[in-house]
Amino acid sequence: MSDETVKPLLSVALIGCGRVGVKHLNSIFKAKDSLQLCALVDTDIITAKAFLEKFIINNRKAASAFPRVKFYTGIDALLLDMTPDIVAITVPSGFHYEIAYRAISSGCHILLEKPMTMKTSEAKELYDLSVATGRHIAMGHIYRYLPIMGLIHQDFISEKWGKISHGSVVVRWGHDQAYYDQAAWRGTWKLDGGALMNQSIHALDLMCYLMNTYPVSVVSQLAKRFRNMEAEDIGAAVLRMENGALCVLEGTTATSPSDHEASFYINAELGSLRVGLRKGLPFFDIRDKKGKKVTRKYYREELKAKGLRGIIDAKNPHYLIYRDLINCVRNGDDPIADARSGYKSVEAMLSVYRSAKEHRQIDIPGDSDFDLNDMSGYFN
């Protein structure tokens, strides 16, 4: 390989050493030809060191791949010492805005787990800051990175399927009470939210991505049936999209933890599609207006464009997000799940909550700011 083709490694600081952080560490390790882990940030240094040590024990080659990792207790300490190329943020959602703002303002690109923020104005501010500074925000909207989603998106952009009548999003991502009891912030209005804000926001994002449109109004209902927490364990909404189509949203964590499902249906003039995940496995059922299956055509196009390696890599969507961000940093492209997707999904989902709170249809964008913590006391 010539010197002209060798590109320097991009430095990555990972903030948050919890269960989602493991997925990021795996992805950074897998992309070691392009990324170098430079720092781990956690409020507890001992936890951060144990986090890395456990990963190295389970992945022997990681010791040589992560030779000089520093540890910090917060974003300020990190940025006083270094300016990483990329900051990956995996902390509870209520802390996203402050950390992301500091990182972008210091010149870092960021990979930000969903949701972007817990407040509409803060999401808009991060989006505007990203545009103004030229720093990329790659959102953890993992469903956009599933196989053939990009092809479907392009077909709706080109209006290959004609006018859309409606779509539906179903997220049945069960968590038992033990899941919420493991961490005090889970299921709280201030730091997490419920089944819609936490488990369903990237599903709503995917529907907007596939349909190539965003909501302009919503009516909704929330309930807390089985889980002991502040926020909802089930929510339902009907959204009207910019193109006139309707979208029905169901999100719940009250179902069985052993039977996770995220499914998407779109009905259009010239065909219909059902895609999603069941028990961790993707499924696709795409038909033309006569009901004939055309799914294999999409498989062939995906295989031709990305090869078998690309299909296999789709099993680890976080790795694909990192690969996407690497390309964006080096070549100036926008991420597939970019800053605007983060802002628009927060704007839409907080409008769902506001509709439930105010018992009325909400126009999007709303006439005032909304903070998820405004839902405090909703079930009292």
**Whole-prediction pTM value?**
0.95
Q: What are the tokens at 43?
A: 């409020």
CB 195 within 8 A of CB 230: no
Burial of 303 (0-12, 13-18, 19+ CB in 10 A): middle
The domain ranges of the chain are 3-141, 143-375
Task: Report the candidate in 342, 335, 379 with the shortest Cα–Cα distance to residue 128.
Answer: 342
- Each residue's pLDDT, cut to its tens digit, for the chain (380 residues) gives 444 466 899 999 999 999 999 999 999 999 999 999 999 999 999 999 999 999 999 998 888 899 999 999 999 999 999 999 999 999 999 999 999 999 999 999 999 999 999 999 999 999 999 999 999 999 999 999 999 999 999 999 999 999 999 999 999 999 999 999 999 999 999 999 999 999 999 999 999 999 999 999 999 999 999 999 999 999 999 999 999 999 999 999 999 999 999 999 999 999 999 999 988 889 999 999 999 999 999 999 999 999 988 888 888 999 999 999 999 999 999 999 999 999 999 999 999 999 999 999 999 999 999 999 999 999 99
- DSSP letter at 293 equals B
Q: Which CATH number fits domain 3-141: 3.40.50.720, 3.40.50.1220, 3.40.30.10, 3.40.50.10860?
A: 3.40.50.720
Model confidence over 142-190: pLDDT tens digits?
999 999 999 999 999 999 999 999 999 999 999 999 999 999 999 999 9
Does the fold of domain 143-375 match that of domain 3-141? no
Which CA distances in Å does 169 have to 67, 152, 203, 207? 44, 16, 7, 7
Q: What is the CATH number of domain 143-375?
A: 3.30.360.10
CB 276 within 8 A of CB 289: no
Model confidence over 43-66: pLDDT tens digits?
999 999 999 999 999 998 888 899
